Amino acid sequence: MTATLTTESPARAARTKRIPVAVLGATGSVGQRFVQLLEHHPWFRLHEVVASERSAGKTYGEAADWRLETLLPDSAAQLKVKALGDALESKLVFSGLDSSVAGEAEDDYANRGCAVITNSKNHRMDADVPLLLPEINADHLAAIEKQRARRSGYIITNSNCSTMGLALAIAPIEKRWGIEQLHVTTMQAVSGAGYNGVASYAILDNVIPYISGEEEKIESEPRKILGQWDGNRFIDAPLRISAQVNRVPTIDGHLMTISLRMRDRDFDLDAIREALETYSGVPQELGLPSAPAKPIHYIDAPDRPQPRLDRDREKGMSVSVGRLRPCPLLDIRMVALVHNTIRGAAGAALLNAELLEAKGLL
């Protein structure tokens, strides 16, 4: 691996050999989504699956209580499950591990020379670990050089699933006008808690106005994503964020209502909408396989976006925004929606890995 940043053309997608990869926490909800998305991936091939001691030694088909809407791929079902800590042949590792074990395990594999792309929270705010959202901060990959001064591999993290949708929705506004303060209220799907995360009796006919640690993540992570890497450390964007979170009885799709105050007060709603609709970044320029053609879809309807109708736009990899209008307390308000287990989790990790490959960092 090398830490030299280069710009490659979309022609890099024309490859004859797919890169073997491993999935940590492969039997969990995010791990299963990794397995699903890797089945037909043009650049990466699922080679190893890793789970707990309870599953180790079984075939993946035996160990995984498959819960997704597509059939378990035959090629994955036949793989023998390895135990966490076992040696891996793959140098590219995707992690869907629970945070209770993720930190140490991901460090271990990075110290062995692996590129670890993780959905877990443990390393998101580390001083030299990029909290990567490629349409916004592809330049943060320069921090890999700092990591590799202390180990042979490196770690790249996704953000929290709600943060992913929030950061993408506000990025065009922050880039052009700046944001001074922001309030967001989330309505988060039950899949975000994993298959056994919320008892049906607790969530049916109900809304739970609390998710442990969630508000703190949403209030801190976008500042790192939208901030700068100065060659030595990350400098957070100066916006202030207040978050309130709720668990609601939808299956997939985190919906959020957003109000914000701009730094540059010379704005109008038409210009903001245009900035949202035309926003794109490095993944679109490079034609990465998982990149949505449009990262942000603005929906011009009074009652959209909605999880059931809009979460699967561009195979779940885009963010939907609507109801842009004045705010009587701040400046503007709007609604945003992200597919929490695709763009907010496994799909984002695949896009991060694609960027690493396109930049010659794998």
- The residues that are catalytic are 161, 254
Cα–Cα distance for residue pair 132/119, rounded to 1 Å: 11
Q: Is 126 helix (H, G, I), strand (E, B) or coil?
A: coil
Nearest partner of 102 among 137, 64, 129, judged by Cα: 129
Task: Characterize the bridge pairing of strands 319-326 and 179-188.
Answer: unpaired
Cα–Cα distance for residue pair 362/359, rounded to 1 Å: 8
Sign (positive/negative) of CA torsion 41, 344, 111, 82?
negative
By CB neighbour count within 10 A (0-12 exposed, 13-18 middle, 19+ buried), where does 247 fall? Answer: buried
User: Is residue 118 a contact partner of residue 97, using CB atoms and an 8 Å limit?
Assistant: yes
Number of H helices, E strands in the chain: 13, 14
Cα–Cα distance for residue pair 155/157, rounded to 1 Å: 7
Task: Characterize the bridge pairing of strands 234-235 and 228-229.
Answer: antiparallel
Beta-bridge mates of residue 185: 244, 257
Q: Mention every residue, 6+ apart, whose C-beta is less than 8 A from residue 80.
A: 57, 58, 59, 60
User: Is residue 294 a contact partner of residue 314, using CB atoms and an 8 Å limit?
Assistant: yes
Residue 81: both structure tokens together: 């499950």
Cα–Cα distance for residue pair 264/192, rounded to 1 Å: 35
C-alpha 74: how far from its chain's center? 26
User: Is residue 30 a contact partner of residue 98, using CB atoms and an 8 Å limit?
Assistant: no
User: Is residue 131 a contact partner of residue 124, using CB atoms and an 8 Å limit?
Assistant: yes
Residue 219: both structure tokens together: 């209030």
Cα–Cα distance for residue pair 168/320, rounded to 1 Å: 10
